[in-house]
């Protein structure tokens, strides 16, 4: 039978619509065995598994996930919504999440909100339509209502790198107040006193908490001061822009240390200072970031940073999600909080 549908040759459509029955016939097994190979391969002899996969490859079979999803009520996926997919911190969170999801043969679908609550809403709607097993999210705002609706509709939510106390959501985070305190206490311990905090939108809890920790550390030293420069987003270019403001200041108005709310800002600050050439890091200007992404260690002046265990955060978030599904009333910690770690490198040494 020849013909066309939506510009695809009918034969093509036939090939795309290869059935499980054809795979079974080609492999010389029953339809049930093909289903077992696809869903429970550990229950099938290795030789049979190989024959079925050879038939799948030979015929170009593509499983019809929509039908299976309807039967099983859920897809084989988990939604992950991050603030900035361009930030290596979130790339590592996603890697850790995918590694744990793989153990249960689940996939992680990544959504990037770009810190925009409207984009975030779009992904929450998409993942609900996709009937994901659950959603991991670093929220762009503290609007818990939309997450509450998600959870009430039967899609569990785990907060990543964030916690909303009293919300009832599982969460995996780092104590950012302690992290900010560690960063600025370190600057004070190397003798710096005129400190500038270069942050992002104060609406982001991570930024607000790191600043709170910085303020606590400065408050413990009588002659220390803390100035805040708030940038619209936590990016390298915004770090560059902040650095360009700082290097042109007259000597009496310059800081002697910078604490960047994340490593991307810190890399941008370092670029601006290095390109200008007036000031040296760390001699004139100590610099510390946050996250300890790979670029921190690889920077032209290796950056001190506050390390977050990004992959472990992602791995733990999936583990917590699956526990909340399989054992909703179980005895386990629903709000996991990791300790931040000070990593000292050249940018604050001496
Ligand atoms: O995206 C903003 C920041 O929040 C990231 O750099 C990471 O630190 C997260 O906690």
In tens, the pLDDT along 239-268 reads 999 999 999 999 999 999 999 999 999 999
Using H for helix, E for strand and C for coil, what is the string for 111-174? EECCCCHHHHHHHHHHHHHCCCCCEEECCCCCCHHHHHHHHHCCCCEEEECCCCCCCCCEEEEE
At 73-112, the pLDDT tens digits run 678 999 999 999 999 999 999 999 999 999 999 999 999 9
pTM over 0.75: yes
User: Do you find a cis peptide bond into 282, omega within 30 degrees of 0?
Assistant: yes
Helix axes 31-39, 46-59, angle to 10 degrees: 100
Rg (CA), the chain: 25
* pLDDT tier for residue 12 given thresholds of 50, 70 and 90: very low
Report the residue among 85, 90, 213 best suited for mutation to probe ligand 1: largest number of ligand atoms under 8 A from its CB: 90
Mean pLDDT value across residues 41-48: 89
- Are 350 and 198 in contact by the 8 Å Cβ rule? The answer is no
pLDDT at residue 14, rounded to an integer:
44
Ligand 1 touching residue 83 (CB < 6 A):
yes
CA 224 to ligand 1 centroid distance, Å: 26
Class for the domain spanning 176-309+342-349: alpha beta
Taking the C-alpha atoms of residue 222 and residue 225, their distance in angstroms, rounded to an integer, is: 9
- Is the CB of residue 84 below 6 angstroms from any atom belonging to ligand 1? yes
Is there an atom of ligand 1 within 6 Å of 87 CB? yes
The CA-based angle 202-205-208, given to 5 degrees, is 50
Indicate the pLDDT class of residue 36, thresholds 50, 70 and 90.
confident
* CATH of 75-174+310-338 given 3.40.120.10, 1.25.40.10, 3.20.20.70, 3.40.50.2300: 3.40.50.2300
Looking at the predicted structure, is the pLDDT value of residue 10 above 70? Answer: no
Q: With a 6 A CB cut-off, is 291 part of the ligand 1 pocket? A: yes
The whole-number pLDDT of residue 227 equals 98
Rounded CA-CA distance 37/51 in Å is 10
CATH number, domain 2-63, options 1.10.132, 1.10.260, 2.60.40, 1.20.950: 1.10.260
In the chain, where does the domain assigned CATH 3.40.50.2300 lie? 75-174+310-338, 176-309+342-349
Q: Is 161 in the pocket of ligand 1 (CB under 6 A)?
A: yes
């Amino acid at each position: 039978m020849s013909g066309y549908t939506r510009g695809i040759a009918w034969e093509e459509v036939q090939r795309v619509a290869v059935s499980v029955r054809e795979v079974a016939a080609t492999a010389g097994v029953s339809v049930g065995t093909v289903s077992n190979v696809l869903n429970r391969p550990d229950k099938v002899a290795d030789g049979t598994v190989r024959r079925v996969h050879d038939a799948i490859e030979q015929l170009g079979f593509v499983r019809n996930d929509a039908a299976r999803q309807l039967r099983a009520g859920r897809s084989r996926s988990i939604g992950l919504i991050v603030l900035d997919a361009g930030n290596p911190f979130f790339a590592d969170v996603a890697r850790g999440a995918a590694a744990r999801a793989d153990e249960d043969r689940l996939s992680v679908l990544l959504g990037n909100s770009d810190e925009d609550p409207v984009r975030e809403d779009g992904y929450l709607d998409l993942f609900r339509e996709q009937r994901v097993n659950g959603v991991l999210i670093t929220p762009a705002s503290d609007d818990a209502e939309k997450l509450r609706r998600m959870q009430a509709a039967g899609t569990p939510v785990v907060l990543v790198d964030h916690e909303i106390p009293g919300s009832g959501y599982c969460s995996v985070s780092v104590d950012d107040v302690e992290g900010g305190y560690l960063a600025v206490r370190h600057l004070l311990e190397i003798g710096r006193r005129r400190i500038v905090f270069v942050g992002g939108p104060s609406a982001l809890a991570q930024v607000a908490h790191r600043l709170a920790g910085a303020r606590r550390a400065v408050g413990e030293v009588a002659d220390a001061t803390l100035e805040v420069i708030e940038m619209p987003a936590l990016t390298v270019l915004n770090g560059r822009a902040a650095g360009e403001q700082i290097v042109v200041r007259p000597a009496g108005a310059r800081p002697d240390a910078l604490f960047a709310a994340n490593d991307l800002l810190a890399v941008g600050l370092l670029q601006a200072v290095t390109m200008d050439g007036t000031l040296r890091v760390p001699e004139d200007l100590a610099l510390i970031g946050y996250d300890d992404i790979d670029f921190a260690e690889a920077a032209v002046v290796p950056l001190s940073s506050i390390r977050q265990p990004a992959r472990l955060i992602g791995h733990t978030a999936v583990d917590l999600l699956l526990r909340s599904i399989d054992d909703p009333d179980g005895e386990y910690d629903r709000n996991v909080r990791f300790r931040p770690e000070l990593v000292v490198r050249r940018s604050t040494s001496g």
